Amino acid sequence: MIRITDIVDKVVEYNPDSDLDIIDRAYIYSARVHDGQVRLSGEPYLSHPLEVADILADMRMDTESIAAALLHDVIEDTPATKEDIQEMFGSGVALIVSGVTKLSGIRFPTKIAHQAESLRKMILAMADDIRVVLIKLADRLHNMRTLKYHKSAQKQAAIAQETLDIYAPIAARLGIFWIKYELEDMAFYYTQTDEYERIDALVNKAKEEKEIYIKTVNERLHYKMEEMELKCDIKGRYKQNYSIYQKMLSQDLEFEQVYDLIAFRLILDSVPQCYAAMGGIHSMWKPIYYKIKDYIGNPKPNMYQSIHTTVVGPKGERVEIQIRTNEMDMIAESGIAAHWSYKEGTNIDENTGELFAWIRNLVENQENYKDPDEFLENVRIDLYPDEIYVFTPFGDIKTLPKDATPVDFAYSIHTEVGGECTGAKVNGKLVPLAHKLRTGDTIEILTTKGHHPSTDWLNFVKSVKAKTKIRSWINARERERSYSLGKEMIEKQFRKKNQNFNALVKSGEIDKVAEGFGFKKIDDLIAHVGFGKLTPLQILNRALPDIDKQDTGDESILKRIIRRRKKKTSTGVIVKGLDDILVKFSKCCNPLPGDPITGYITQGQGVTIHRKNCINIMKMSNERTIEAEWSNEFTESYPASIKIRTTDRFGLLADIASVISKYKSNILNARTETSEEGIGLFYFTIMVESSDQLRRIMSDIRKVKKVSDVKRIVRTE
Ligand code: MN
């Protein structure tokens, strides 16, 4: 059990001139009135106010707050009254303690009404003195930490749910993120134990697997910062289980797809150093441009400041990095409490005032809500700024994510209504399907029988249900198409060899083939051919391995055709796990042997090879990318495009062309441009065998007189 002297020591450390007498007196009084009471844990009751006071000392609160924390349960649970407290400890402490006290005397018709009224009281008191809510949060934190001593699982779940609904969002609104995360994680455990444990096990496994990787990232960050002479602290922090779970739910992801499981945090001394550090990191690892968020330049409404960037790290894995100053780090963790420590007393500085505005708004409006339910609803709207509340024509309320559209609304009613949705009226007016709904809207959905979801909808729907249902419809349709296409391709291939595929299916021969490729059903095997993941020839060779030997008559011609086809399709690329697959090269980045590459499975067209750092492949879905590498025996030529800047355009074309032909490389295409300043630009597409050869050609072109720059370019068509 924590001792009062530990708390006093902490207070003296951050506030040496404080009036410790009030803390001593509060402790003695609290010990006396709580004497004989026991917590469910079996500990003396006094342990609870001590722990709460300790949490406040960690938040560097003033002595009045610490005293109030020690006394926070005396009005509720002992014979002491507000007047007693006022007399002994002054009106400041008395106001806080009575603000923290739950309503008991009055009876309420329902539990909800009671809860709503208690909350209303707390919020009113909070508007007078924010310290009320800080004590309330610390109180809840300690109660959650000791929730395991509750006997009833039902009671545990109810308290945990209330924590998720009310206290964690309040902590978030006040910017006290360490409390928010701790509350959420504990509440997650008690409300959904199975899910919590599943995710916890996955996180622990990932921690083990990623240990070396994390060490590498850490070391390289350290090295880079040292090289740039930037003094900084680097921390690697794992996402909380509940945050991971929320992300999986809201973006419909599998655990493996949550790439920002760990975020690295760099803490520096000044703002310019933060930007310098970002530049250093971006020069080492390529940033994903749409993931750069500058909350230093544009702070969040709760005053959070930090730079967030996601880069492609050492192993091609995405790494999230947060960069901030010491002060920003303190505010990010403690939020309003950082502005409310002992120094400020009860004065609200301008920033804190802004942060405080939502509470004041709520209080000013509360008179309009006579009904506690209505008030609670209003608080909910305020605590969950990411949700909207809309109505069906019958007045039923639906909760949707912010910026949700009529399509989200339609799916929230029924999957069928979603799929057949062709129009919508919002408050009686026709709107486009991508229209953004607002709290209070009444929505009527227009449907057409036999209408189907559209892929475009995925660009604007916000709810998980709509996304999942639309995707599963598209997948089912794709599968259907892939199946019929695959069937046609296989039948054709078998007919060429005078074989009947369907007869082999009936005889059970194909079952073995499907099994051999790892499919449970023949339909899956066929669909994979249509999808481009397997070729009909692979199926044929597996089903009838000796087919070429048995062949008569036109055997030699067929063989030659196959051989020629094979030669033609031999691209010098090995796609992992697939030995006979149609491979094409992407036009967007023109990969060359030697470039790191990756494959993308296209529908019905085999695999397209991209350079690993191609921006298009980074944007595409991970499920369809497949590992690929160059085989060692590439003798083929591949197109590559280069751009040459010159200071003078006359007579150069011949010189450049002769360099290219020295390497026996063919020119596919050449184009010239002259800029207004008289700078000549040459664009060549040439055939090369590898990125090495291209580099050699480029370096020789650079040696040509009047050539100022040669670059490999990515075609932008
Ligand atoms: Mn308490």
| All domains in the chain, ordered by first residue | 4-192 (1.10.3210.10), 195-338 (3.30.460.10), 471-550 (no CATH), 553-630 (no CATH), 638-712 (3.30.70.260)
Tokens of 577: 């796990």
Q: What is the pTM of this model?
A: 0.57
Residue 653 has pLDDT above 80, yes or no: no
Per-residue model confidence (pLDDT) at position 383: 64
Mean pLDDT of 471-494: 86
> What's the 453 CA to ligand 1 centre distance in angstroms?
52
First to last CA, the chain: 69
Lowest mean pLDDT among 38-47, 616-625, 661-670, 706-715: 616-625
Element (H, E) at 294: strand 293-294
Burial class of residue 523, CB neighbours in 10 A (0-12, 13-18, 19+): middle
- From the list 621, 627, 590, the residue with the least C-alpha distance to 607 is 627
Per-residue model confidence (pLDDT) at position 671: 78
Per-residue model confidence (pLDDT) at position 488: 87
Per-residue model confidence (pLDDT) at position 210: 82
Per-residue model confidence (pLDDT) at position 269: 93
Residue 364 has pLDDT above 70, yes or no: no
Q: Whole-angstrom Cα distance, residue 656 to residue 107?
A: 92
Lowest mean pLDDT among 402-416, 526-540, 605-619, 703-717: 703-717
> What's the 522 CA to ligand 1 centre distance in angstroms?
63
> What's the 85 CA to ligand 1 centre distance in angstroms?
16
Per-residue model confidence (pLDDT) at position 275: 92
Q: What percent of the chain has pLDDT over 70?
A: 81
> What's the 23 CA to ligand 1 centre distance in angstroms?
17
Q: How many C-beta neighbours within 10 Å does residue 399 have? A: 14
Per-residue model confidence (pLDDT) at position 292: 86
Tokens of 346: 């009860």
Tokens of 497: 């060899």
Per-residue model confidence (pLDDT) at position 121: 67
Mean pLDDT of 643-655: 77
Per-residue model confidence (pLDDT) at position 567: 41
Per-residue model confidence (pLDDT) at position 500: 87
In the block, which residue shows the tokens 């990969």?
591
DSSP 398-464: EEEETT--HHHHHHHH-HHHHHTEEEEEETTEEE-TTPPP-TT-BEEEEE-TT----GGGGGT--SH
As annotated, the active-site residues are 76-77
> What's the 32 CA to ligand 1 centre distance in angstroms?
16
Q: Whole-angstrom Cα distance, residue 685 to residue 319?
A: 35
The pLDDT tens digits for 687-699 are 888 888 898 999 9
> What's the 139 CA to ligand 1 centre distance in angstroms?
5
Residue 366 has pLDDT above 80, yes or no: no
Residue 303 has pLDDT above 80, yes or no: no
* Mean of the per-residue pLDDT values of the chain: 81
Q: Whole-angstrom Cα distance, residue 315 to residue 313?
A: 6
Residue 242 has pLDDT above 60, yes or no: yes
Tokens of 306: 């930090």
In the block, which residue shows the tokens 């003078």?
648
The pLDDT tens digits for 253-280 are 888 888 778 889 999 999 999 999 999 9
Per-residue model confidence (pLDDT) at position 386: 73
The pLDDT tens digits for 529-544 are 887 778 888 888 888 8
Q: Whole-angstrom Cα distance, residue 76 to residue 160?
A: 21
The pLDDT tens digits for 561-611 are 444 334 444 567 777 666 566 778 887 887 887 788 888 877 666 788 888
> What's the 147 CA to ligand 1 centre distance in angstroms?
12
> What's the 72 CA to ligand 1 centre distance in angstroms?
6
Tokens of 307: 């730079």
